[in-house]
Chains A and B, each alone.
Chain A
C-alpha cells in the first residue's frame, strides 16, 4: 500500500473523509467535472432518457464520484499484482457436452413481440 504517513487534523473546510491518511478535498475543480455533453452521451449509451433537472443533478453527483475515484490514482501500485477477480480460483471449465435446450415456446415466453418463432426487435442502424 502506498500513501503518505501522518494523519492530519480534521479541517472544517474539507469533506472530513480521509483516505490513506490524506484528507479528501472536494474541489469541484474543472478537470474532473462532468460536462453536460458527457452526461448526455452517457445517457445515450445507457439508453436512459434524462430530464434537464436530472442532467443537472447527475452532473454534480457524477463529478463527485469521479473525484472520489481520483484519490485511488494516488495509490502506488507499481509492485501490486492486478486483481483480476476477488476469488482466487482459476480454470473453471465445463466439458464440451451438449445439454438440452429450452423448447421454442418457452424461450419466447417473455418476448413482448414475436413472429414465426423469432423475437421481434427494433431496426437499428
Chain B
C-alpha cells in the first residue's frame, strides 16, 4: 500500500508530459440488437440463446438498422456537444477473430454519426475541456471466455449473445493529462449517458475503454481491453510507469498495442500484425445511407433531459448549496432526483444536501450499493422522516445515521427501527442520572480533569456516549459533565 502511495502516477496530479486519448465503447439500452430483433438484454441469459442468423453471421442473413439505436447515438452526440452529420454510413471492418462470426464487424469509418464535440470535467486544476473527436455506432462482438488467462488458455469459448448489441463509440482527442483525469472523464461520460437514459453503467461490461498513452520522447501506445472504471486508472498508471522506466534506461518506446490484464494489473504486448489499412474498411453494401434531417435532430434535441452541468448550476442557484455538494448530488441522476424530492418535502435544502451528498452517498459507497437499489429500502419519504425526527430533536444525529444504516441493510420504517433499537433521545431527567453514574464510575478521569487535564473530559464524554448508545448529543453530554463536576466540586 505504501509502495502505491509513493508512486506519483497514482496521486493523479497533472503530468505535463503525458497525453492520453480514450476510445469509450458504451452499450446502448435498446430492447433489440443493432441489426436484428434478438433481445439485447443478454446479461443473465444462457449462452447462445439470444442469437439468430443475422448476429451469428449465417449466409444470406441481412442486417437492418434499429432506428432507436441511431436516435440514442444522436442524443449522445448532442449531449457531448458534437456536430451531428447530415449523412452517415456503416462500414465493414475486416479481421478474423472468434468473437466476430462474419469475419468483419459492422462499424463506422468515414462519415461517422457526429464529430467535433467537447466535455467539461472538474479536474485538480479546475475545469478542463476535453475535446471529442467523433461519435459513431457499431455492433458489439461476441464474448470470449478463456479458461485461465488469455496467455495460457488452450482454446476459447464463444457466446454470441452479445454479438450485435449496439455500441456507441466516443473518441477523444489526446487531451487527458493523467490517469486520474481519465477516470474523472470516464465517470462524467457514464453520468451523461445515464442522464440520457440510454445506458446502464451498473451492467457488467457495459463500458469498455481502449486508451492511447504517450509520454514526451516516446511513441503512442494503445492499451486494449480495459473493462472497469478502476481498471482504467490502474492500467494507465502502470503503463506510464513502464514507459518512464524504458526512457530512463535509454530504451526507445515504439508504437504498439498492449492488452490490459485486469487480474494482474499489468499491460502485455500483443504483437498484433494488423494496422489500420489491414482492416480493409469499405462501405457495408447490405445497409443504405442514413440521412439525418435537421428536423429529426431538432426533435431529439428538444427531448434531451437536463444534463449534469446544467443541473449543477441550477442546484447551486435554486437550493443555495456549495459547488462541491451540487457536483456530488448530480453525478448520478438517481441521486439528483432523490435529493430534489427530499428537499421539496423537508424544505431545508442545505441540510438535505449534507445528508444526501455526504452521509447517504458515503453509506452507499461503503456498501457498493447503487441509488437505484437503495430506493427499494429507503424511499424519499422515509429519508425525510429520519431528518424530521432529527430536526425535531427526537433522535440525535448519530441515531439518525444508525436508522439510515439499518434501513439500507434491511429496510423498514424509521419509527419502527427507532422503537426497536430504543433510539429516542434521552429526556433531561434521565441525562442527569447517567452523567452522575459515569462520574462515579470514572473517578480517576474526573480527578485528572479537575487537576487541569482538559482532555480527560473527552474521555468522559466517550463513556457517556457508550452508555447511552448515542442517544445523547456529545455536546449536551460535554456541557452536562462540566456543569455537574463543577457543582459537585
B288 engages A91 (CB within 8 Å):
yes
Number of chain B residues close to chain A: CB under 8 A: 57
A95 engages B39 (CB within 8 Å):
no
The listed residue (A102, A115, A124, A125) touching B157 by CB distance below 8 A is A115
A7-52 at interface with B (beta carbon < 8 Å): 41, 44-45, 47
B288 engages A123 (CB within 8 Å):
no
A96 engages B48 (CB within 8 Å):
no
Q: Mark A85-114, 1 if CB is under 8 A from B, else 0.
A: 101011111111111111110011000000
B98 engages A121 (CB within 8 Å):
yes
Count CB-based A-B contacts (< 8 Å).
134
Q: Is the interface of B mostly helix, strand, loop or mixed?
A: loop
Closest A residue to B40 using CB positions: A98
In Å, the complex CA distance between A51 and B154 comes to 28
A84 engages B65 (CB within 8 Å):
no
In Å, the complex CA distance between A115 and B47 comes to 10
Q: Decide yes or no whether B140 CB sits under 8 A from chain A.
A: no
B67 engages A44 (CB within 8 Å):
no
In Å, the complex CA distance between A98 and B98 comes to 26
Q: Mark A58-96, 1 if CB is under 8 A from B, else 0.
A: 000000000000000000000000001101011111111
A102 engages B46 (CB within 8 Å):
no
Q: Mark B75-115, 1 if CB is under 8 A from A, else 0.
A: 00000000000010100001111100000000000010000
In Å, the complex CA distance between A47 and B274 comes to 13
Number of chain A residues close to chain B: CB under 8 A: 36
In Å, the complex CA distance between A44 and B96 comes to 10
In Å, the complex CA distance between A84 and B109 comes to 13
Q: Decide yes or no whether A117 CB sits under 8 A from chain B.
A: yes
Q: With contacts A97-B37, A122-B98 known, is A90 near B46, CB below 8 A?
A: no
A121 engages B49 (CB within 8 Å):
no
A-side contacts of B64, CB under 8 Å: 92-94
Spot the interface stretch: B143-151, B364-372, B416-424, B434-442. Answer: B143-151
Q: With contacts A96-B68, A101-B49 known, is A121 near B158, CB below 8 A?
A: yes
A-side contacts of B289, CB under 8 Å: 84-85, 90-91
A-side contacts of B47, CB under 8 Å: 104, 116-118
B-side contacts of A47, CB under 8 Å: 96
A-side contacts of B283, CB under 8 Å: 84-85
Q: Decide yes or no whether B246 CB sits under 8 A from chain A.
A: no
Q: With contacts A98-B32, A115-B157 known, is A104 near B68, CB below 8 A?
A: no
A104 engages B157 (CB within 8 Å):
no
Q: With contacts A93-B64, A115-B157 known, is A104 near B46, CB below 8 A?
A: yes
A94 engages B37 (CB within 8 Å):
yes
In Å, the complex CA distance between A87 and B265 comes to 50
A118 engages B48 (CB within 8 Å):
yes
B66 engages A94 (CB within 8 Å):
yes
B295-309 at interface with A (beta carbon < 8 Å): none
A123 engages B89 (CB within 8 Å):
no
B66 engages A96 (CB within 8 Å):
yes
In Å, the complex CA distance between A102 and B287 comes to 23
Q: With contacts A90-B291, A91-B291 known, is A101 near B67, CB below 8 A?
A: no
A-side contacts of B136, CB under 8 Å: none
In Å, the complex CA distance between A121 and B283 comes to 28
Task: Tell me, rounded to whole Å, the shortest Cβ–Cβ distance linking A95 to chain B.
Answer: 6
A-B contact pairs, 22 of them (CB 8 A): A41-B278, A45-B94, A45-B95, A85-B285, A94-B67, A95-B67, A96-B30, A97-B31, A98-B31, A98-B32, A98-B38, A102-B53, A102-B56, A103-B49, A117-B48, A118-B157, A118-B159, A119-B159, A120-B157, A121-B156, A122-B98, A125-B271
Q: Known pairs A101-B50, A123-B154; list 14 more (Cβ under 8 Å).
A: A84-B288, A85-B288, A99-B32, A99-B36, A101-B49, A101-B51, A107-B51, A107-B160, A119-B48, A119-B98, A119-B158, A121-B144, A124-B97, A124-B98
